[in-house]
Amino acid sequence: MTASDNTQSMLISLEKVEKWYGAFHALKDINLTVRKGEKIVLCGPSGSGKSTLIRCINVLETIESGQITVAGRVLDGSGKAVDAIRREVGMVFQNFNLFPHMTVLQNCALAPMRVRGMGRAEAETLARKYLERVRILDQADKYPAQLSGGQQQRVAIARALCLEPKIMLFDEPTSALDPEMVKEVLDTMISLARDGMTMICVTHEMGFARQVADRVIFMASGEIIEEAEPDVFFTSPKHERTKTFLGEILAHH
Amino acid sequence: MGPIGANEFLFILHGLKWTALLAIIGFIGGGVFGILIALTRVSKSPAARATAAAYIGLFQGTPLLMQLFVVYYGVALLGINVSAWLAVAIAFTLHASAFLGEIWRGSIQAVPKGQTEAANALGLHYVSRMKDVILPQALKISMPATIGFLVQLIKGTSLAAIVGFIELARAGQIISNQTYRPLLVFGIVGAIYFIICWPLSHFGTALEKRMAKAAR
């Protein structure tokens, strides 16, 4: 691979990123690059900074130092850079965060209308396309509260896809779900992965990690401790903290 | 003692018309400015937040009666000749905007933070974020308190009598002085206030109960 290929296929890069919440050092010297089409699973104990890390990528959190580049755009603190990056990055939250006063279809059509300036008809056509994609089109006219958690999360995925992002961020997408609904959401994510979407997933679903991840990254205390392909990561973790964590996680599954 | 006939009754109803108009003007004017106050109160700028807080504090910390006086005579002192109508409308708008602003400030902050984050992640800008996502939810949360304030406002319009305004309470006083039947006249006036305010209060309470149930 030549140098130019390398930069072209690079979608996300974090260099020496530092983040503080007051006196709490949330992210310590984070360096990470993600190529186009790569699937990254981010795991670690709670409070390890994994959610904070992905929230920095679409500027839901600001960083104290370091540089973040997304789809060739450097996050320089300008509103334009923030807008440009948010257009390329979709995000799915632990608690879905659907808009409760809008129908499923309206939830999905809002951003295309307001951000991409589409007319209502065009935006709704697009919304239907992605609702079909997550196999929930039949619920388009319902309100979020009328759906199960798994259905709501699939709507949230469709809503993010409606901006046709290059990157999808998942922040513990199955943690708030009843066990029987986890699979339908993971299946949707797996099918997205198969279509070549670039994804960073904060999750403890190790089965999912084994199945789709190109790399698994383990974080603790705001640092990236270990980074490896899933096979290596699960069978021969190097660090003591990774071993302890895997022991705890896998004991539950 | 004089009789209370159709004329007296019409006079009282005439007063009711002004009471209703005053309340509506106060509520609409207060609503429009109240949203601005609420948005300023939750803005990013500390100076703007402090200014809005001071405004709210000023109007919540002084009697409505005094606010009416200050606006009525204060505007005249500025050399602007305004009718009692305009002065009272301004005073009620200022008063209502402070109270509604504070009620809605609380409601905006009661909308879960995840809603703002989802809107931000979708790239929605301030206007859309507020208009499409936050305010519709905040307004719903605020309904019981907003209706409660509307009832206060309707009753508060009786204070406009002090600057020579003949609304419902003042109309009752005039008829009472003419007929020497204060108990009967004020009984009627009170009943009219009650007929307007009680269903509103009841509606507000019902909404509150329904929302408490939905939140469970």
The bridge status of strand A39-43 relative to strand A24-35 is: unpaired
Element (H, E) at B57: helix B46-60
Task: Give the architecture-level CATH label for domain B6-211.
Answer: Orthogonal Bundle (1.10)
Which pLDDT belongs to residue A2?
Answer: 43
Distance from CA of B33 to the nearest CA of A (A): 24
List the single residue in A with minimal CA-CA distance to B139. A101
> Which residue has tokens 């509307």?
B150
**Tally of residues, chain A:** 253
Which pLDDT belongs to residue A4?
Answer: 45
Dist. CA B176–CA B179, nearest whole Å: 5
pLDDT along chain A (253 residues), means of 10: 56 94 92 94 92 94 93 89 94 96 96 95 96 94 94 96 96 93 94 94 92 94 93 90 87 65
Distance from CA of B206 to the nearest CA of A (A): 20
Which pLDDT belongs to residue B86?
Answer: 85
pLDDT along chain B (216 residues), means of 10: 82 91 94 96 95 95 91 82 83 95 96 96 95 94 94 91 85 90 92 93 88 70
Mutation pick from A70, A82, A101, A170 vs chain B, by most beta carbons of B within 10 Å, is: A101
The bridge status of strand A73-74 relative to strand A24-35 is: unpaired
Residues of A with Cβ-Cβ distance to B128 under 8 angstroms? 110, 114
Question: What are the residue ranges spanned by the domains of chain B?
Answer: 6-211
Residues of B with Cβ-Cβ distance to A146 under 8 angstroms? none
Contact across the interface for B123 and A87, Cβ inside 8 Å: yes
Dist. CA A139–CA A150, nearest whole Å: 13
Long-range contacts of A219-222 (CB under 8 A, 24+ apart): A219/A42, A219/A43, A219/A44, A219/A48, A219/A49, A219/A50, A219/A53, A220/A44, A220/A45, A220/A48, A220/A245, A221/A28, A221/A48, A221/A49, A222/A19, A222/A25, A222/A26, A222/A27, A222/A28, A222/A48, A222/A49, A222/A52
Instruction: For residue A70, give the 3-state DSSP assignment.
Output: strand
Mutation pick from A86, A114, A170 vs chain B, by most beta carbons of B within 10 Å, is: A114
Which pLDDT belongs to residue A3?
Answer: 44
What is residue A172's DSSP assignment? S
Which pLDDT belongs to residue B161?
Answer: 84
Contact across the interface for A110 and B114, Cβ inside 8 Å: no
Residues of A with Cβ-Cβ distance to B124 under 8 angstroms? 110-111, 114-115
Which pLDDT belongs to residue B83?
Answer: 81
Residue A216 has which token pair?
A: 């698994």
Distance from CA of A9 to the nearest CA of B (A): 23
